[in-house]
Amino acid sequence: MKRRDFLKFSASTALALAALDMDKKGGFFKAATSYAKETGSLPGSLGAKEVPSVCEMCFWRCPIVGKVKGGRLVKIEGNPKSPANGTRVCARGNSGVQLVYDPDRLKYPLKRMGERGEGKWAKISWDEALDEVAHNMDKVRKKYGPHALAYFDHGASAEFTREIFKALGTENYSSEPAFFQCVGPVAIAYLNTMGFVVSGTRQYIDMANAKAILLVASHIGENVHVSHVREFIEGLSKGAKLVVVDPRFSAAANKADIYLPIRPGTDTALLLAWINYVIQHGLYEKEFVERNCIGFDKVRAAVKDYTLEWAAKICDLDVKDIEAAIKLLAENRPHVAVHPGRHSTWYGTGDVERHHALSILASIFGAVGQKGGIYFPTPVKKAHAHCAACSEEHEIEEPDVSLRDNFPFVEPLPGTPTGAIIEATLTGKPYPIRLWGINGVNIIQTIPDPYKTMEAIKKLDFIYCEEMLPGETAIWSDIVLPSATYLERYDALYAYDGLTPYLTVRQPVIDPPFEVKTPYWIAKELAKRLGLKCFTCENEREFIEEELKELGNSLEKLNQKGGLITIKPNPYRSPDKLEMPTESGKILLYVEDYEDEDLDPVPRFVPTPAPPKGYARLIYGRVPVHTFSRTMNNLWLHNEWPENHAWINDQVAKKIGIKDGDEIVLENQDGRRSNPVKAKVTPGIRPDCIYLPHGFGSKSKHLTKAYGKGASDQFLITKTVTDPFMGSTSKRTNFVRILKGEKALEIPELRPVPKEIPRFELKRA
């Protein structure tokens, strides 16, 4: 034992013994229990009050404890009761303190005074703000019909106002744009093959017990979802082999036994060749497939021409490497974590097929319901508080032509594709959309082609938002409603159904400051003005108590237990007793429902166009201390990572005279230019790609720390392709070249494109 470790061990042991001694005397725990009953929280270090809650610095929702002293939040830690993250929080979770006390924070309701996008406002009262929102919603609904209303929302607190839009009769609510900008294709693929959403907010993949792990452009370690990263690290620490497929040498690739720097847009080709190789060489779990899968013979026939040699050429990989990778995975079946992925809106056409292929590979390995493979979520009983919704059932009025009609598999997903809402707003077809409400999502920095989004906003009669910070959404809104942070409000009970299931609750650590109101209060007041019978709870605490009462619990009891109740997990199934939540009870390798809609029942490779001459494909990802554009103005996080850099292949940089740290501008195929950004010259990216971390380059001058820092990848994504299954929009179908000064530097083609892959054609001069 190292001296430093010994000292840490000795100190913690001494503290533990002291606590036990106090407990024997009836002091420490007796006092703690008394304090909990009196205050609803636990006593913390240095006299701080500790309040258990749930983080929302990203969507992962780790249980936390907020420490309050003198009425001020001073620290955030992980909840020691949590079996998923324990006392750990990431940098973002820790920095929630700076979200609360951000000097740029919205403090009171605002009304637009200048043009949309200028960010000029006047302070108004809550009555004025809500009256104006309700008046315009009622006016637009009566003039154009209910479907002229649209709502873009994200996060638990946005669900209250979503109920209002649904009660008014519109189908045009996005219910988490993440489905249509991120997770939709993977959700649809697994829902139709395995009967449940293997990858949504959670990814039900048991990396902690895997003997081998496959990641296809999954940036674990850079997106930093604490429990997910812990499971990944645990699996590697136990000796799990790792295969990473990614055009960029990511943090995960740095841990790989085999790293495959694939040509972007060819992942499905590699997967189909692997499936064929596994079948032809008998490297699949025959009994599992015979007992639990439907359509194996059709898959065998469909993939027979996809060879490793063909894939090596298409994917620009060494055939020996891809053979070694699939052998490594197959040797460790069925304890293989074929990660389903999460962010999946890459190329539009082919996105669902790519994840369908991943599900087939996992299935023929028998890695479903087994340790180290895909596992089943443990049902966590949750009660519904009727007083926190609309008391009457409001049927959504079916329009003559629905924006969902063109997408046969959108039905399981909530709401309407965001791209379809924006297109209808712009064109007025098939009907006009004249009012938008926004809550919890930066529509300018999230939805592809922000220029199109801004043009659509100009056509609206009215737009309003609930926001915490004056970002892009706020500066484009007519009315801005200042909303409480996750540390200042209640949200509905939260159930974690992963490997370590539990039930917990988000509750206020401190009171909302200034004139800030909670989302529930805002929704209740708005519903009242619209004459809707919604939200009959007196306050947020009442609906939490109603939910807990149905479970035989209360907020006081929950807090006495540390704010969290653990539940016995049930993630695995015996292969001979596997019952999938599909109609047949089996895994559908061949999806007949796709065939019925003239879509591919077995995945096939459809190439996405390669970059035009002189350009590279724009790809993007995350940095571990930021959550998209949401955290760029956070003092602590901004200090750690104030701006992004553009990754450029070192050989390309040498040929065009770019050095590490040079200031450059990126210009896309449509002539749209980025802010100046520094070059990161590295061998860790393919020569046909340029990589930008996402979320930087804020356009709002009111965000004094984030404004103009770095380059926005989103403002370079102006060419999109729509997914035919569920209407998501692509984000990796854009190309950029480099400008230094005003001189355009054409990117040399160091990796020739095979004739099987078409080239994107430039349409501008």
Cα(184)–Cα(186) distance, integer angstroms: 6
More confident residue, 66 or 35: 66
CB 205 within 8 A of CB 373: yes
Percent pLDDT > 70 in the chain is 93
- In this predicted structure, the answer to whether residue 26 has a pLDDT above a threshold of 50 is no
Cα within 13 Å of Cα(256), Cβ side: 27
> How many whole angstroms from its chain centre is CA 299?
31
- In this predicted structure, the answer to whether residue 764 has a pLDDT above a threshold of 80 is no
Cα(47)–Cα(369) distance, integer angstroms: 47
DSSP assignment of 679-722: EEEESSB-TTEEEEETT--B--TTSTTTBT-S--SGGG-----B
pLDDT digits (tens, 9 = 90+) for 658-693: 999 999 999 999 999 999 999 999 999 999 999 999
Pick the CATH number of 110-169+381-566 from 3.40.50.740, 3.40.630.10, 1.10.1740.10, 3.30.1280.10: 3.40.50.740
Cα(754)–Cα(746) distance, integer angstroms: 20
The tokens describing 360, both together, are 């087939």
Note the CATH number of domain 195-377+573-596: 3.40.228.10
More confident residue, 358 or 414: 358
Class of domain 616-745: mainly beta
pLDDT digits (tens, 9 = 90+) for 494-553: 999 999 999 999 999 999 999 999 999 999 999 999 999 999 998 999 999 999 998 899
pLDDT band for position 742 (50/70/90)? confident
pLDDT band for position 34 (50/70/90)? very low
Q: Give residues with Cβ within 8 angstroms of 405, minimum separation 6.
A: none
What pLDDT does residue 45 have?
61
Percent pLDDT > 90 in the chain is 84
Give the global pTM: 0.92
- In this predicted structure, the answer to whether residue 38 has a pLDDT above a threshold of 60 is no
What pLDDT does residue 394 have?
63
pLDDT digits (tens, 9 = 90+) for 354-393: 999 999 999 999 999 999 999 999 998 877 788 888 866 5
pLDDT digits (tens, 9 = 90+) for 632-643: 999 999 999 999
- In this predicted structure, the answer to whether residue 32 has a pLDDT above a threshold of 70 is no
Rounded alpha-carbon distances, angstroms, from residue 435 to 119, 134, 168, 170, 173: 19, 11, 13, 11, 12
What pLDDT does residue 668 have?
97
Among 298, 296, 300, 274, smallest CA distance to 287 is for 296
- In this predicted structure, the answer to whether residue 15 has a pLDDT above a threshold of 50 is no
The tokens describing 638, both together, are 């901004």
Residue with tokens 């996750």: 486
In this prediction, residues 181-205 reach a mean pLDDT of 92
The tokens describing 719, both together, are 């060419």
b (16+ CB within 10 A) / e for 518-529? bbbbbbbbbbeb
Phi-psi region of 443 (alpha: psi -120 to 50; beta: other; left: phi over 0): alpha
* Number of residues that this document lists for the chain: 765
pLDDT digits (tens, 9 = 90+) for 568-612: 999 999 999 999 999 999 999 999 999 999 999 999 999 999 999
Handedness of CA 546, 550, 556, 562 (dihedral sign): negative
What pLDDT does residue 202 have?
85
CB 437 within 8 A of CB 167: no
pLDDT band for position 226 (50/70/90)? very high
The ranges assigned to domains in the chain are: 1-38, 110-169+381-566, 195-377+573-596, 616-745
Among 680, 523, 589, smallest CA distance to 195 is for 589
pLDDT digits (tens, 9 = 90+) for 84-140: 999 999 999 999 999 999 999 999 999 999 999 999 999 999 999 999 999 999 999
- In this predicted structure, the answer to whether residue 5 has a pLDDT above a threshold of 50 is no
Q: Is the peptide bond before 448 cis (omega within 30 degrees of 0)?
A: no
